[in-house]
Amino acid sequence: MKLNIAILPGDGVGPEVIAEAEKVLNSVGEKFKHDLAIEKGLIGGDSIDKMGTALPEETVKLCQTSDAVLFGAVGGPKWDSASAKVRPEDGILAIRKQLGLFANIRPVKAYKSLIHSSPLKSDLLTGVDMVIVRELTGGLYFSKPKKRWANKNGRQGVDTLRYSEKEIVRIMRVAFELALKRKCKVTSVDKFNVLETGRLWREIANEVGSQYPQVQLEHMLVDNAAMQLVRNPANFDVIVSENTFGDILSDEAAVLTGSMGMLPSASLSGVIAESTFTSKASLYEPIHGSAPDIQGKGIANPIAAILSMAMMLRYSFGLLDEASIVESAVEEVLYEGYRTADLVTDDSPVLSTSVMGDYISNKVKLL
């Protein structure tokens, strides 16, 4: 099978972890005799420095003509000036819009071998295996007006939280379809008590939920959801929320896995068909960001990027066996006690970014 893949390494540790994901991908290609057609593009701060824009038209065209996009991270202190007219983050926001990527899927799994890497008590982590479904192209990050200004009363700023019925319905369908293939439970997160968008969100969640009688639907205010994520995480199956809440909750969920370096994600534009998404040019990325403080030190955890690549194999190409082998390789390497610096709590061997990639890549070949 020919796999046409665009790779956008980006900034910070993005190129480092994506290099390891590509290494493991090459092992998958060799093992299963797939033809990998890989082309790289610019995005974020690296693109600003070279092209004067966070997202060149060439990168947009590359992504639009690829079957999937593997993305690293953007951002860093070099481009953090409050007065900057172009920011690295503009690139990832723009590509999501360009590709119509409205659904962000973030699996959260507590590996048995990493339970002691989490600050939570181990008994709370037993059975934790959830998916956070975050609406990705609406809400505070995109709605207008969005501006800053100054007058006699001083500096001011405004962001707008707006959602349409269509946006909520489509993200709810993704959540319910996912739940059908899991434990048949959806937790819809909102701020029903104070926000009009929250009341609309809950109303539509109930309407869509009525079409899935097999799935249990519960509603939870976002502040309670934040507490329950650390108090009773095994109670969740599929969490669905609007953009900002989903961003915050999924980052909080990193504490369950022991490190943000363990959390992959997929940004999709299609709907579920059987066990895959029918989605052109979906984007796959680790959620940890650019981590500029450890850039170039060789200590970044590449597992989130590698697991994101496994999600790409599953959702964009329907390669279920290949995706499962990558995930099994990760689990076995962790079970054998190998760790990057972010996961070490005892005398376990500490691997560099590239050596962890080597271990997982070699494990794929053996499975």
Q: 301, 19 in Cβ contact below 8 A? A: no
Domain-located, residue 83: yes
pLDDT over 70 at 312, yes or no: yes
Domain boundary among 257, 284, 313: 257
Residues 132 and 166: their CA atoms lie apart, in Å, by: 20
Instruction: Indicate if the pLDDT at residue 346 is higher than 80.
Output: no
CATH of the domain at 202: 3.40.718.10
Q: Which residues contact 212 (CB under 8 A, 6 or more apart)?
A: 176, 179, 180
User: How confident is the model over 99-126, as a mean pLDDT?
Assistant: 91
Tens digit of pLDDT for each residue in 122-142? 899 999 999 999 999 899 988
Same domain, 17 and 144: no
Domain that holds residue 81: 1-103+274-367
Q: Does the annotation count 251 as an active-site position?
A: yes
Domain count, the chain: 2
Q: Which one of the listed residues 247, 284, 342, 363 is annotated catalytic?
A: 247
In this structure, are 253 and 127 located in the same domain?
yes
- Catalytically annotated residue among 67, 129, 159, 251: 251
CB neighbour list of residue 12: distance below 8 Å, 6 or more residues apart: 72, 73, 74, 75, 76, 289, 290, 291, 292, 295
76 and 135 together in one domain: no
Domain shared by 237 and 298, yes or no: no
Has residue 304 been placed in a domain? yes
Assess whether 98 and 136 both reside in one domain: no
Instruction: Give percent of the chain with pLDDT exceeding 90.
Output: 87
Q: Active site includes 338?
A: no
Catalytic residue among 49, 223, 293, 321: 223
Q: Which of 69, 20, 13 minimizes the C-alpha distance to 45?
A: 13
Question: Contact, 210 vs 173, CB < 8 A?
Answer: no
Average of pLDDT values for 97-118?
A: 91
| Domain final residue, candidates 213, 232, 257 | 257
Same domain, 123 and 218: yes
The model's confidence at residue 274, banded by pLDDT at 50, 70 and 90, is very low
Does 145 reside within a domain?
Answer: yes
The enclosing H or E element of 219 equals strand 216-221
How far apart CA 323 and CA 91 sit, in angstroms, is 28
Determine the average pLDDT of the residues in 108-118: 90
pTM over 0.75, yes/no: yes
- Reported as a single tens digit per residue, the pLDDT across 5-56 is 999 999 999 999 999 999 999 999 999 999 999 999 999 999 999 999 999 9
Identify whether residues 75 and 132 lie together within a single domain.
Answer: no
pLDDT band at 273 (very low <50, low <70, confident <90, very high): very low
Q: Are residues 136 and 90 in the same domain?
A: no
Q: How many residues belong to the chain?
A: 367
Among the options 23, 109, 191, 363, which is catalytic?
191
**DSSP states of 16-57:** HHHHHHHHHHHHHHHHHT-EEEEEE---HHHHHHHHSSSS-H
Q: From the candidates 40, 97, 141, 185, which is the catalytic residue?
A: 141
The reply to whether 252 and 278 lie within a common domain is no
Q: Residues near 324 by Cβ (< 8 Å), separated by ≥ 6? A: none
153 vs 146: CA distance, rounded Å: 19
Judge if 195 and 302 occupy the same domain. Answer: no
pLDDT, residue 272, reads 54
